[in-house]
Copies of this chain bind each other. A is one copy, B any other.
Amino acid sequence: AAHHRFRALDCEAVKHYVAARPALQQRVGPADSVESWTVKEVGDGNINFVFILEGPGGALCVKQALPYVRCVGESWPLTQDRVRIESEVLAEEAAVCPQHVPAVYLYDSDMSLIAMRYLAPPFLILRRGLIAGAMYPRLAEHLAAFLASTLFHTSLIKLDATAFRAKIAKYTNDEMCRLTEQVIFTEPYVKADNNKWTSPQLDADVAELQSDVAAKLAISQLKDLFISRPQALLHGDLHTGSMMVTDAETVVIDPEFAFYGPMAFDVGKILANLLLAFFAADGHEAASGQSRQAQRDWLLGCIRDTWNGFSASFRALWTEHAGAGDLYPAAFAGAAAPGGTELLAAAQAAFMDHLFHETAQFMGAFVIRRLVGIAHVADMDSIADADVRAACERRALRFGRSLLVHGARGPLHSIEALTEAAAAARD
């Protein structure tokens, strides 16, 4: 169905759009206040437009997808079906962890837009907070809860096979997955026009990566998992720029890349972005002269506590729902199943061991793509001195390569070993 009823909104048009829909309009202010509303476009992502409307009654966030990539323009077309995915996934997430997703008020498929709760300041994109040196005492706890609940409840451990297959089909997200395949799993390892890095400082490092057969083999095996290991409904873009935080709350936005894929993709992506913040902290310290030691310690602790909290929560959900899904059905693992308790313990241990290995490998892939590929992170880019930045990036790149190639089947065999090695990599 062509989007013949679609039109791109600007600040003025979005105001009329909201004013014409009573349920939305009420959230911003009474009908006679519309002229006084302020509207600003705040989209700092690369892909979509985000409008904030404020009026005497409150505020509202409207996100609209155009049929192309915002930062490139019409020459890079992109399916607007991504908004359907985003709205449906926000609903799936809200069903299991409402405290970590924005409430959605409207999804308009013709207009490819979502109206949702405005996360007003002090809510801030996590990446920006980290760059500023902030620490969030409850972040690990929130990330662990978000990961465990969204991944567990959409997995075959919880669902029957028919429901599971239906969800895989529903969340097929070909064009968005193609983007990921290109920019994460392919381009950084070959000469590609999109690639960029701190040059000439890292030229030799990049050349080494691009002739590294072990790295190319490992990234290809991860690409294989990405495309053909539908294990749970993933967020698909779970970096520190996809969550807004305060000291007390963590809200995950922007699941337009969602699809059924390997759990380690989501877990590894957020941990990798925290690791990038850790490696960037030296650069901010150098620039500001202010110690980032406390933040570095907190970041590594956050990585450790997120994994451990996720692992514990996931296993607790599994035990609570033992026998629910078709992977370990009631006759195998239900409360009354002979040997069920022993089986459950063995299955959980094997599952988590394997998942940690894959998570470590994906972490490596995400670190590398942010240093060499098309999309970098502001954590590093905001380090003005290129030599200082390159030194941070080189440490991250080497650590990422080790994660990618060896995963947890080497010295980084546990989250404690991994975070200790990251601390040591600074010396």
Contacts and interface: CB of A to CB of B under 8 A. Distances in A.
B227 A329 contact: no
B172 A165 contact: yes
A220 B332 contact: yes
A172 B172 CA distance: 13
Contact of A343 (B181, B192, B213, B337): B213
Nearest to A155: B228
Given A172-B165, A190-B332, A156 B211 contact: no
Interface string A327-340: 11101100001110
Interface residues of A, number: 48
B213 A342 contact: yes
A216 B343 CA distance: 7
A355 to B, nearest CB: 12
Interface string A9-42: 0000000000000000000000000000000000
A275 to B, nearest CB: 26
Given A221-B350, A339-B211, A326 B228 contact: no
Contact of A231 (B156, B228, B350): B228
B186 A329 contact: yes
A228 B227 contact: no
A313 B227 CA distance: 24
Interface in A203-234: 210-211, 213-214, 216-217, 220-221, 223-224, 227-231
14 contacts: A161-B181, A165-B172, A165-B227, A166-B174, A168-B228, A186-B329, A191-B331, A210-B338, A213-B342, A216-B343, A217-B346, A223-B326, A228-B229, A228-B231
Q: Which 5 A-B pairs have the closest CB atoms?
A: A190-B331, A228-B230, A213-B342, A217-B346, A213-B343
Interface of A: 156, 161-162, 164-166, 168-169, 172, 174, 177-178, 181, 186, 189-192, 210-211, 213-214, 216-217, 220-221, 223-224, 227-231, 260, 326-329, 331-332, 337-339, 342-343, 346-347, 350
